[in-house]
Amino acid sequence: MAQLTYVSRSVGLITLQNPPVNALSAAVRQGIVDTVERALNDPKVKSVVICGQNGIFCGGADITEFNKNMTGPPLVPMIHAIEAMNKPVVAAIEGSAFGGGLEVALGCHYRIAHSKARLGLPEVTLGLLPGAGGTQRLPRLIGIPAALSLITTGRHVTATEALQLGIVDQVTDHNAVDVAVKFAQSIAGQPLDYRRISNYPCPRPSDLDALFEDMMQKVRQSARGAIAPVACVQAVRAAATLPYAQGMEREKELMATLFTSGQARALQYFFFAQRAAGKWMMPSGARWDTSKPRPVHKAAVIGLGTMGRGITVALAQTGLSVVAVETQEKQLMEAKQEVSGMLQRGAKRRGVAPALDRISYSQNIQAVADVDLVIEAVFENMALKKKVFQQLSAVCKPGTFLFTNTSTLDVDQLASETPNPELVVGMHFFAPAHVMKLLEVVYGPRSSPQAVATAIQLGKKMGKASVAVGNCHGFVGNRMLKPYINQASFLLEEGATPELVDRALVEFGFSMGAFRMSDLSGLDIAWKIRKEEGMVQLGMASGPSARIRHGCRYSPLGDLLCEQGRFGQKSGQGWYQYDKPGGRIARSDPWLHRFLEEYRARHGLVARNIDQQEVLERCLYSLINEGFRILEDGIAAGPEDIDVIYVFGYGWPRHRGGPMFYAGMVGLAKVLERLEHYHQAHPDVPSLQPCGLLRRLVASGSPPVNKWREVIKKLHSQL
C-alpha cells in the first residue's frame, strides 16, 4: 500500500509500503493512485514527495504477479497521473530505484537521491523491457547512447553516476526524504511543463541510423539469441523517431511480444531457480540452512597453481586473512606475482585498496596451524591429496574445516584420511576461481551440516552462486558434461567437423561450442584423468579395440590429438589452430580435417551429412538425460540446482532457463522420444538410454519443472 502524510503543513508525503523492497504490487499501485488523487484535491498540499519505507524507494514490479491475471491499476496511466499533476512531485530515492520504481521516479518532476542509492532498469534480465514508459522517458532525459547502455544491459548505476548522467537532479549524504521535503516546499507554485519528461524532445544525434545499426549489431552479438535486448533497442529507436504517444504504443506492442515469449518465462524461472538453489535443500527435502555456519576469519590455501591462485584472490577480496602454501619455490614466486597483480587489477576496478597484506606465503604446511579452514588445491592425484589431508589433520587446530577443490575424486575417501570426516567437504571452484560465479559444494555421506553451511556461506560471501551437491564422479556439472562431450566426438566420427558442431551450439546460445571449450580448458587435463582412471593406456587409441571401452562406445579422438602434443589453445593446436601457443583466435585446421578423414577410413566409418538439429538433440538431450539421472540418484536436490550450475558454470544461455527447464519447454515426451530414437541407432552408448525418472515424469503427464521435486520425492520414498 501507500500512505499519505502531511509534512510541514504544505507537503504531501506519499510513502510506498510493501516490505522488503516496496515492490509495485496491485495494492501499492492502488495506494499510489488513491494518495496522488487525494494530494491533488487537497488545497493544503502545495507539493508532493514520493518515497519508500525503510530506506528503500522501490525495487520495481512484483515479479510474483507476472504469471497471474493482472488486477489493480496499471502502471502506465498511474505514472502519467503523477507526471500530469499541477503540483510539483519530487522522488526521494533512498536504497534502490529499480525497474518500475525508477519509472515512477521518471514520472516525477524532480529526483533527489541519497549518495548510497542505486538505480537501474533491469527488466531486460527478466526477458522484458521497461514497459511503463522507461524506454521513452529515459532517452529523452539522458540521451540515446546512455539510455541504450542502461536499458539493454539492465546494469545498475550509483547515485553519483546517475547525477552525472542526468537521471537525478541532486545527490545528498543526508536523509533524502528530509532534503526532498525542503526542496518541494521551495518550489511550490513553480511552472512544471518544462519538468515533464514526456514533453521533452528526444535528443537526436545526426548519425541516428548509424548509431542504431551499430548498437543493434553489438546487442545481437552479445545477446546470443536473447530477444529482449533487441526489443529494447527497437523501443528506444521509437523514442528517437516517433512522437511520445506513438512511442508508448510501440513500447506496449514490444512488451506484449516479450511478455508471452518463452524467453521471458525462462528468465523469470531462472530468477526463482537461483533462490530455490540458494535454499540448498537436501534431496530428501530437508534443509541444510537450519544449521548455523561457523564464522571464518583466517583461511589457508594449499597448492598455488591455476586454481589455488584464484581461490587465494577470492578469499582475500572477501576480507579474510589467507595463508597460501606452495611447496615448489618457482611456483611460489610466480604465484606471489600473479596473485598481487590480480588483486591490484581487481581493486582498481572496484575503486578500493588491494588486499595484499591479508596474504602470507609459505613453503611449509606448518604455517596453517591456526586457520579456521583450509582449501586444498594440489594436483588432482588421490595419493598426494590423501597425504596432504593426513598432514593437515596433524597440523591444524581441532575443529578446522578441511575443504578440497578436487574436480573428480571421491570426497569421502579423502575424509577417511582424517580423524574428523564430518569436517571435510568439497568446494569445487571453476577456473578462473576469482571470476567464475559458480561453486559446487560437495557433501559426502559424513560431512556435517555445519561444515556444508560454512562452505556455502563462504561461497556466498565471495559472490558465488553456491549449490550443494552430492558426492559422485564429476559431481553435477562435469558429470552432465561427459555425455555431451562424448556425443560431440561421436558426431565427428560419423562425419561432422568441430566447426559444424560448435556453430550449432553457439547458435543455440552457448558462449562457445564443445570443441572450442575443450581447446580453451586444455585437452591434456581430461586425458591425464582418463589415464589415471585406466581408460587410456599406451597404444590403445590406435589399436583394434580403440573405439570400445568396457563394452561401450568410446571415441579416442581426443587421446590421439594429445599423443601428437595437440593440447588446445595452450599448445597452439587442438581441435582448431591458433596463431601461437596461447593465442586466442581459433581457425579451422585443414590438418584436423585430413586427420578425421584418415581416422574414419581406418575404422571403416562412412561420413554422412549431419545437420544442426541432430547435433543439438544428441549433445543436449544426452546432457539432460544425465541431469535426470542425477535427480534420480539424489545428487542434486532439484532441477533448479542443475540449471543454476549450468547457467553460471557452463555457459548455458540464461534465456533458455538451464537444461532441465529447457527439457520442459521442448516437451518431456519429445525429449524421451528422441533419446529412444538415438539409443536405438546407437545401442552401445548407454548415456542415450532414457532415464527412468524421465519416463516416470512423462507417464505422470509431464508436470511443469517446479513440480518435479514432488515426483522425485515420491520416487525416493518408494526406494
- Alpha-carbon span 458 to 508, nearest angstrom: 34
Residue 120 or residue 303: which is nearer to ligand NAI going by CB?
A: 303
- Alpha-carbon span 561 to 11, nearest angstrom: 75
Q: Identify the residue among 62, 251, 326, 640 touching ligand NAI (CB under 6 A).
A: 326
- Alpha-carbon span 464 to 451, nearest angstrom: 17
Q: Which of residues 154-213 bind ligand NAI (CB under 6 A)?
A: none
Residue 272 or residue 379: which is nearer to ligand NAI going by CB?
A: 379
Q: Identify the residue among 307, 455, 562, 623 touching ligand NAI (CB under 6 A).
A: 307
- Alpha-carbon span 497 to 620, nearest angstrom: 17
Query: Is position 377 an interface residue for ligand NAI (rule: CB under 6 A)?
Result: yes
Phi, psi dihedrals of residue 414, rounded to the nearest 5°: -65, -40
CB of 376 to ligand NAI, least distance (A): 8
Residue 384 or residue 394: which is nearer to ligand NAI going by CB?
A: 384
Residue 517 or residue 561: which is nearer to ligand NAI going by CB?
A: 517
Query: Is position 328 an interface residue for ligand NAI (rule: CB under 6 A)?
Result: yes
Closest CA to 197 of 270, 103, 277: 103
Residue 328 or residue 366: which is nearer to ligand NAI going by CB?
A: 328
- What single letter denotes the amino acid at residue 39? A
Residue 301 or residue 546: which is nearer to ligand NAI going by CB?
A: 301
Residue 291 or residue 306: which is nearer to ligand NAI going by CB?
A: 306
List of residues 6+ apart from 90 with CB closer than 8 A: 47, 48, 49, 50, 108, 109, 110, 111, 112, 180, 183, 184, 187
- Alpha-carbon span 273 to 35, nearest angstrom: 36
Query: Is position 302 an interface residue for ligand NAI (rule: CB under 6 A)?
Result: yes
Residue 182 or residue 482: which is nearer to ligand NAI going by CB?
A: 482
Q: Is residue 361 a contact partner of residue 326, using CB atoms and an 8 Å limit?
A: yes
- What single letter denotes the amino acid at residue 216? M
Residue 492 or residue 526: which is nearer to ligand NAI going by CB?
A: 526
Q: Identify the residue among 379, 394, 587, 677 touching ligand NAI (CB under 6 A).
A: 379
* Segment lying near ligand NAI (by CB under 6 A), choices 239-247, 302-310, 349-357, 617-625: 302-310
* Segment lying near ligand NAI (by CB under 6 A), choices 170-178, 255-263, 372-380, 570-578: 372-380
Q: Which of residues 427-466 bind ligand NAI (CB under 6 A)?
A: 429-431
Query: Is position 469 an interface residue for ligand NAI (rule: CB under 6 A)?
Result: no
* CB-count burial class (<10 Å; 0-12, 13-18, 19+) for 494: middle
- 37, 83, 94, 123: the catalytic one is 123
* Segment lying near ligand NAI (by CB under 6 A), choices 125-133, 377-385, 453-461, 557-565: 377-385
DSSP assignments along 283-332, one per residue: TTS-BGGGSPPPP--EEEEE--SHHHHHHHHHHHHTT-EEEEE-S-HHHH
Q: Identify the residue among 96, 185, 405, 486 touching ligand NAI (CB under 6 A).
A: 405
- Alpha-carbon span 51 to 16, nearest angstrom: 6
Q: Identify the residue among 305, 509, 651, 703 touching ligand NAI (CB under 6 A).
A: 305
Query: Is position 407 an interface residue for ligand NAI (rule: CB under 6 A)?
Result: yes
Give 362's strand partners.
325
Query: Is position 120 an interface residue for ligand NAI (rule: CB under 6 A)?
Result: no
The contact pattern for ligand NAI, residues 497-536, with x = CB under 6 A and - = no contact, is: ------------------------x---------------
Q: Identify the residue among 59, 303, 498, 568 touching ligand NAI (CB under 6 A).
A: 303
Query: Is position 47 an interface residue for ligand NAI (rule: CB under 6 A)?
Result: no
Q: Identify the residue among 119, 165, 255, 325 touching ligand NAI (CB under 6 A).
A: 325
Active site annotation includes 123: yes
Q: Identify the residue among 192, 378, 455, 561 touching ligand NAI (CB under 6 A).
A: 378
Phi, psi dihedrals of residue 401, rounded to the nearest 5°: -75, 135
Residue 390 or residue 542: which is nearer to ligand NAI going by CB?
A: 390
Provide the terminal-to-terminal Cα distance of the chain, rounded to the nearest Å: 49
CB of 384 to ligand NAI, least distance (A): 6
The 3-class SS string of 162-202 reads HHHHCCCCEEECCCHHHHHHHHHHHCCCCCCHHHCHHHCCC
Residue 321 or residue 406: which is nearer to ligand NAI going by CB?
A: 406
Q: Identify the residue among 115, 170, 274, 331 touching ligand NAI (CB under 6 A).
A: 331
Q: Is residue 488 a contact partner of residue 500, using CB atoms and an 8 Å limit?
A: no
- Alpha-carbon span 383 to 659, nearest angstrom: 35
* Segment lying near ligand NAI (by CB under 6 A), choices 6-14, 73-81, 306-314, 703-711: 306-314
Q: Which of residues 246-275 bind ligand NAI (CB under 6 A)?
A: none
List of residues 6+ apart from 632 with CB closer than 8 A: 691, 692, 693, 712, 715
* Segment lying near ligand NAI (by CB under 6 A), choices 125-133, 305-313, 337-345, 582-590: 305-313
Total residues in contact with ligand NAI, by rule CB under 6 A: 25
What percentage of the chain's residues is helix, strand, coil (to nearest 5)?
55, 15, 35
Q: Identify the residue among 380, 494, 507, 563 touching ligand NAI (CB under 6 A).
A: 380
Query: Is position 338 an interface residue for ligand NAI (rule: CB under 6 A)?
Result: no
The 3-class SS string of 34-61 reads HHHHHHHHCCCCCEEEEEEHHHCCECCE
CA dihedral (376, 379, 380, 384) positive or negative: negative
Q: Is residue 587 a contact partner of residue 577, using CB atoms and an 8 Å limit?
A: yes
Residue 104 or residue 323: which is nearer to ligand NAI going by CB?
A: 323
Query: Is position 327 an interface residue for ligand NAI (rule: CB under 6 A)?
Result: yes
Query: Is position 72 an interface residue for ligand NAI (rule: CB under 6 A)?
Result: no
* Segment lying near ligand NAI (by CB under 6 A), choices 189-197, 225-233, 379-387, 538-546: 379-387
Cell numbers that stand for 463 in this block: 559472490
Q: Is residue 183 a contact partner of residue 90, using CB atoms and an 8 Å limit?
A: yes
Annotate 500-528 with b (16+ C-beta within 10 A) or e (fewer).
bbbebbbebbbeebbbbbbbeebbbbbbb
CB of 377 to ligand NAI, least distance (A): 4
- Alpha-carbon span 241 to 34, nearest angstrom: 35
* Segment lying near ligand NAI (by CB under 6 A), choices 141-149, 403-411, 626-634, 709-717: 403-411
Phi-psi region of 470 (alpha: psi -120 to 50; beta: other; left: phi over 0): beta
- Alpha-carbon span 387 to 393, nearest angstrom: 10
* Segment lying near ligand NAI (by CB under 6 A), choices 7-15, 405-413, 504-512, 541-549: 405-413
CB of 453 to ligand NAI, least distance (A): 22
Query: Is position 471 an interface residue for ligand NAI (rule: CB under 6 A)?
Result: no
Specify the 3-state DSSP secondary structure of 448.
coil
The C-alpha cell 522420444 sits at 673
Q: Which residue is nearest to ligand NAI (CB)?
A: 305
CB of 339 to ligand NAI, least distance (A): 12
- 37, 65, 83, 103: the catalytic one is 103
* Segment lying near ligand NAI (by CB under 6 A), choices 78-86, 301-309, 532-540, 611-619: 301-309
Residue 139 or residue 308: which is nearer to ligand NAI going by CB?
A: 308
What does each C-alpha distance from 583 to 20, 138, 307, 570 come to in angstroms? 48, 41, 21, 8
The C-alpha cell 541516428 sits at 208
Active site annotation includes 507: no
The footprint of ligand NAI (CB under 6 A) covers 302-308, 325-328, 331, 377-380, 384, 388, 405-407, 429-431, 521
The residues carrying an active-site annotation are: 103, 123
